[in-house]
Amino acid sequence: MTLLVEDRGAVRILTMNRPEKRNALNTALTRALLEGLRAADVADAVRCVVLTGAGPGFCAGADLSEFKDLTPEKQGAVEERAELTMQLHLIFSRMAKPVVTAINGAAMGGGAGLALAGDLAVMAESAKLGYPETRHGIVAAIVMANLVRQVGRKAAFELVSLGEPVSANQAMAIGLVNRVAPDALAEAVSLATKLAELNPQAIQATKQLFHEVADLSLEEALQRGREANKRMRGFKKA
């Protein structure tokens, strides 16, 4: 199976399972991830999701072995894969339930995009994260949209232009991740468990409002906050 699913209480752990390929994202794994995240979001017993990778790496990014079939002569396949990739990176902000990424090893390119797409990120002390696309003559295209929302513009541009990886401590220093730990999965599950114990309505409303106000003017953001403030009076205890 390309994606492993495990429930620990109210926390669902999704593990990318292509360790021999450093969990590179081929079409099958990308689809499985998208379906797995959607399924977790509608599962009544699940309150938080953890995403990690099997083996020593988190995710090496796109599976380059599939690129030979993505040529201008096969425009339909090119468009289908690009759409699938976009939908995968978009779903994290659209989910009602929070997602914690456990960056257990190297996260590169599209893998770095996945690592940062979650609501919280925990990185192993030995892990590296980077966007090496320019070194291969291409662009960190889809993943760039989320990156520039995560860190300052100067740091983001350095990452996508030079293509040099950063260490866990460097990632922490520039705000790419929340925590650095010897065991990223254990720390991520601990964080997810704390989130799962909170009022689910409050968490859902917090996440929804967070992603809405990030791209609004101050006045519009305050208006959305006002409406959320009125709605939260009806929240019930978990």
Q: Give catalytic residue positions.
A: 133
> Which tokens belong to 115?
């690592």
Task: Please state, in angstroms and rounded to a whole number, the distance separating the CA atoms of residues 167 and 29.
Answer: 26
Handedness of CA 160, 161, 164, 169 (dihedral sign): negative
Query: Length of the chain, please?
Result: 238
Count of C-beta atoms within a 10 Å radius of residue 197: 14
Backbone angles phi, psi at 72, to 5 degrees: -55, -25
Backbone angles phi, psi at 69, to 5 degrees: -95, -5
Count of C-beta atoms within a 10 Å radius of residue 146: 18
Task: Please state, in angstroms and rounded to a whole number, the distance separating the CA atoms of residues 235 and 206.
Answer: 12
